[in-house]
Amino acid sequence: MTRAPEAVQHYLDQFASVAPTLPGEDVPWLKRSRASAIRRFSDVGFPTPRNEAWKYTRVTPIEKRRFSQPTTAPSVSPDSVERFHLAATDCHRLIFVDGQYAESLSSPGELPDGVVIERLARAIERFPEELASLLDDSGSGNAGCFGALNAAFMQDGAFIHLGKDAVVVDPIHLMFLASGKQNDIVSHPRVVILAERGSHAAIVESYVSLDECVYFNNVRTDIRVGTSACIEHYKLQQESRKAFHVSDLRVHQSAGSAFHSHSISFGGALVRNDIGVALDAEDALCTLNGLFLADGRQHVDYHTRIDHLKPSCTSKEFYKGILSGRARGVFNGVVYVHPGADRTDAQQTNNNLLLSKDAEIDTKPQLEIHADDVKCSHGATVGQLDEDMLFYLRSRGINESAARGLLVYGFARDVVDRIEISAIRNRLADTLLSRLPVDVQVKEIVG
């Protein structure tokens, strides 16, 4: 037997040593699923630029490092995580430190009847049969390298089950914190959300770090939105500048359901987000809003795909990127209207701002239509600040430097303003001011 490339072998060796400690060791289907996933990883290896989906994003920096999965979590004081809470909002909060559940920091709170919010490791023990169809990976051959790694190594995360007509009023906040106590840690968080008929909740996944350390988050989230259910999903990636972050969000929608996604990425050494939504029954609605910022030598990549499988569904996608320094951005958005998906209404927009001559974006909106009577539009722009806007502000006495800053801030704020939860909106507005290259006067103006 030939030995796998070193980078792949590293994870095979890791698997051999940590597998016995992972949850579900005594759950036969899960054990099988993990074994099948690691085999698949061994077969596919890391993607190269020859793979169309990874054409603009090289993962060699991830391959080169020897990340390892810890089995114990360092202790982190409640004070140090408080700044990552959603201010002024009561939340059902689960906190994970370096991929592991931190019970002392978490507060799941009181839940309405029919609602389960449970850390995944415990959910596997409590609901092994229920989770089998959602987690068993042995049959799927399409999740690729990072999906396979997550399926093999997943250690914890969250299981959220909203029973029929259940409504959770306060946001459910899942916080994944990197402690920075040790470099080269990898975690494979897995989130499963099952929203039954008529249920409604807002779920926030935030990825944060205490220190500027090197680590790797390889995230997988699956959401099933049942008939007439409504899920608002927020993913806030605000990590160490040296962090590696790969995530895959898969959504399946039933008839008359609504799914609203807001994905905000503030950059890292390498950030890759895949989002796939299947509109699999009539009258389903999805909105995908996104904002990404990158500076220095950061790299942020968004790949989204919306499948219109059935008639009369609506999708609205609105993504913006702001790049400066020598940063690199990628937006690849596919809207696929399948045969029979008549009366589809699909809009896709991607606008990008390049603030330096060395920043670069590759944007590729793709619309494929195989049905009749559809209303589809897409467009992408790449550019600098708008001269008309700049003159308008200056003609009102706002000096050039402040006007430029205000326009950069406004460009980003336009996405943030679409967020329903004011605590998240305000939090992000503050972050934008500290992260964007804007004049100090802008802070006074919008403060």
Partner 1 sequence: MLKIKNLHVVVDGKEIIRGLNLEVKTGEVHAIMGPNGSGKSTLAYVLAGREGYEVTSGEIVYEGKDLLALSAEERACKGMFLAFQYPVEIPGVNNTYFLKAALNAVRKQRGEPELDAMDFLALVKEKLKVLHMDESLLQRAVNVGFSGGEKKRNEIFQMAIIEPRLAILDETDSGLDIDALKDVADGVNALRSKDRSMIVVTHYQRLLNYIIPDRVHVLDSGRIVKSGGSDLALHLEEEGYLWVRREAASA
> Cβ–Cβ contacts within 10 Å for residue 399, how many?
12
Q: Is position 389 an interface residue for partner 1 (rule: CB under 8 A)?
A: yes
- CB of 442: closest distance to partner 1 in angstroms? 9
Among 398, 428, 436, 438, indicate the residue that binds partner 1 (CB under 8 A).
Answer: 398
How many other β-carbons are positioned within 10 Å of the β-carbon of residue 366? Answer: 12
Residue 215, interface with partner 1 (CB under 8 A)? no
Does 300 bind partner 1 (CB under 8 A)? Our answer is: no
24-32, 166-174, 326-334, 381-389 -> range binding partner 1 (CB under 8 A): 381-389
Q: How many residues bind partner 1 (CB under 8 A)?
A: 28
Can residue 264 be called a binding residue for partner 1 (CB under 8 A)? no
**Is residue 30 near partner 1 by the rule CB under 8 A?**
no
Does residue 48 bind partner 1 (CB under 8 A)?
Answer: no
Q: What is the DSSP string of 152-197?
A: HH---EEEEEE-TT-B--SPEEEEEEE--SSSSEEE--EEEEEE-T
> Cβ closer to partner 1: 3 or 396?
396
One of 12, 380, 393, 421 touching partner 1 (CB under 8 A): 393
Interaction of residue 417 with partner 1, rule CB under 8 A: yes
Using the rule CB under 8 A, give the single segment among 54-62, 308-316, 331-339, 407-415 that binds partner 1.
Answer: 407-415
How is residue 430 written in tokens? 């503050």
Residue 419 sits in the site that holds partner 1 (CB under 8 A): no
Distance CA(266)–CA(193), nearest Å, equals 25
Among 65-73, 276-284, 292-300, 400-408, which window interacts with partner 1 (CB under 8 A)?
400-408
**Beta strands 115-119 and 157-162, pairing class:** antiparallel
Please give the angle made by the CA atoms of 127, 223 and 216, to the nearest 5 degrees: 90
Name 2's Cβ contacts closer than 8 Å, sequence gap at least 6: none
Least gap, CB of 262 to partner 1 (angstroms): 15
Q: Is 397 in the site for partner 1 (CB under 8 A)?
A: yes
DSSP annotation string for 235-286: EEEE--TT-EEEEEEEEEE-TT-EEEEEEEE---SEEEEEEEEEE-STT-EE
- Among the listed residues 192, 413, 427, 439, the single contact to partner 1 using CB under 8 A: 413
Closest CA to 90 of 431, 421, 416: 421
Is 211 one of the binding residues for partner 1 (CB under 8 A)? no
Binding site for partner 1 (CB under 8 A): 386-389, 391-400, 402-403, 406-407, 409-415, 417, 445-446
